């Protein structure tokens, strides 16, 4: 189990909670810090941890051995703050495995073997939401120039499919299901659009400000606002509607986790398991 703290500490535990190793990245790289702390989540793929530490100082992405905590590679990145989490696009046909990272001024695809760049797309980014990849249509969604879609079939520069400022997410990442994407803007309006075209399907006011990415389950979307209100949006009717609302009495900033019939919500002071 890997944890990455806002203090820039990267920590590995076993599932019994025993500490395996700790990397104090601020000790290793004293200039790696921004004014509000780190918030990019590390990802694990094939036994390698990929951590994105982008800031105004020592800015980098590193691949770390999950067994030892040692760097496998480390590449410099733009000296601009980013709180977005990287994602992996698996190899498929002509396309090699790629690490996708959203920075303060660009969207990048990196070689997972050595960190070299396949391509960079510069533009006006909002580097808090994470990119999302739809394997069915080979479409990458990222918050650059509003919300933009790119078709990715190989390691060459991807083709731009569409961009739309109206679909620009606030602090939450998009979620996808079948051929549709779901985003939430800074005004608390949920929007559903077609992945391939960006065409709007519906929109509905959820309300509140959000940092937690919503959870999509069947025809329900679970939203948790920063002021501690959980709302459930039902989407299979003629018009989407909020069918339930609950006040948790504490701030909620982290994205919930879902497992089997339960959802786990980390509030400011408590961890909750909610199930039927």
Write out the DSSP string of 67-110.
TT--EEEEEE--SS-B-PPPEEEPPBTTBPPEEEEE-SSEEEEE
Binning the chain into helix, strand and coil, the percentages to the nearest 5 are 5, 50, 50
What digits encode the pLDDT tens for the residues 35-79? 788 889 999 999 999 999 999 889 999 999 999 999 999 999 999
Distance CA 69, CA 165 (A): 40
Residue at 52 is within a domain: yes
What integer pLDDT is reported at residue 218 of this predicted model?
A: 85
Say if 84 falls within a structural domain: yes
Q: Is residue 114 part of a domain?
A: yes
Query: Which CATH number covers residue 107?
Result: 2.130.10.10
Q: What mean pLDDT do residues 235-260 have?
A: 91
List 224's β-bridge partners, or say none: 230
Q: What percent of the chain has pLDDT over 90?
A: 87
Note whether residue 244 is domain-resident.
no
CB atoms within 10 A of CB 181: 24
Q: What is the average pLDDT across 22-27? A: 92
Separation between Cα atoms, residue 168 and residue 11, nearest integer Å: 33
- The mean pLDDT value for 206-227 works out to 93
List the domain range (segments joined by +) for residue 139: 2-145
Residue 140 has pLDDT above 80, yes or no: yes
> Does any domain span residue 10?
yes
At 198, is the pLDDT very low, low, confident or very high (cuts 50, 70, 90)?
A: very high
> Is the confidence at residue 203, as pLDDT, over 80?
yes
- Which pLDDT value is given to residue 90? 96
Burial 52-66 (b: 16+ CB within 10 A, else e): bbbbeebbbbbbbee
Residue 36: what pLDDT? 81
DSSP letter at 7 equals T
Contacting residues for 187 by C-beta, under 8 A, at least 6 apart: 205
Examine residue 128 and state whether it is found in any structural domain, yes or no: yes
Summarised one tens digit per residue, pLDDT across range 71-113 is 999 999 999 999 999 999 999 989 999 999 999 999 999 999 9
- pLDDT tops 90 at residue 145: yes
Bridging pattern class, strands 220-224 and 200-205: unpaired
User: How much is the average pLDDT of 133-138?
Assistant: 96
Structural domains in the chain (count): 1
Distance from C-alpha of 226 to C-alpha of 135, rounded to nearest angstrom = 31
213 belongs to a structural domain? no
Q: Radius of gyration of the chain from Cα atoms?
A: 19
């Amino acid at each position: 189990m890997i944890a990455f703290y806002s203090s820039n500490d990267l920590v590995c535990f076993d599932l019994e909670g025993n500490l395996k190793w700790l990397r104090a990245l601020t000790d290793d790289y004293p200039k790696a810090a921004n004014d509000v702390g780190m918030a990019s989540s590390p990802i694990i793929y094939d036994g390698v941890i990929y951590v994105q530490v982008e800031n105004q100082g020592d800015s980098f992405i590193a691949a770390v051995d999950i067994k030892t905590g040692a760097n496998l590679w480390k590449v410099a990145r733009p000296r601009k703050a980013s709180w977005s989490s990287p994602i992996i696009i698996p190899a498929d046909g002509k396309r090699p495995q790629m690490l996708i990272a959203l920075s303060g001024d660009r969207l990048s695809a990196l070689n997972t073997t050595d960190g070299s760049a396949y391509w960079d797309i510069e533009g006006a980014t909002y580097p808090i939401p994470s990119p999302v990849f739809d394997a069915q249509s080979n479409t990458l969604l990222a918050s650059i120039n509003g919300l933009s879609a790119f078709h990715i079939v190989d390691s060459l520069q991807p083709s731009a499919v569409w961009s739309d400022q109206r679909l620009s997410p606030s602090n939450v990442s998009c979620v996808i299901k079948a051929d549709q994407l779901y985003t939430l803007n800074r005004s608390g309006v949920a929007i559903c659009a077609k992945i391939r075209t960006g065409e709007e399907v519906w929109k509905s006011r959820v309300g509140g400000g959000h940092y937690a990415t919503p959870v999509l389950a069947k025809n329900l979307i679970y939203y948790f606002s920063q002021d501690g209100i959980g709302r459930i949006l039902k989407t299979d009717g003629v018009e989407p509607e909020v069918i339930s609302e609950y006040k948790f009495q504490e701030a909620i900033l982290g994205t919930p986790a879902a497992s089997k019939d339960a959802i786990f919500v980390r509030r400011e002071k408590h961890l909750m398991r909610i199930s039927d």
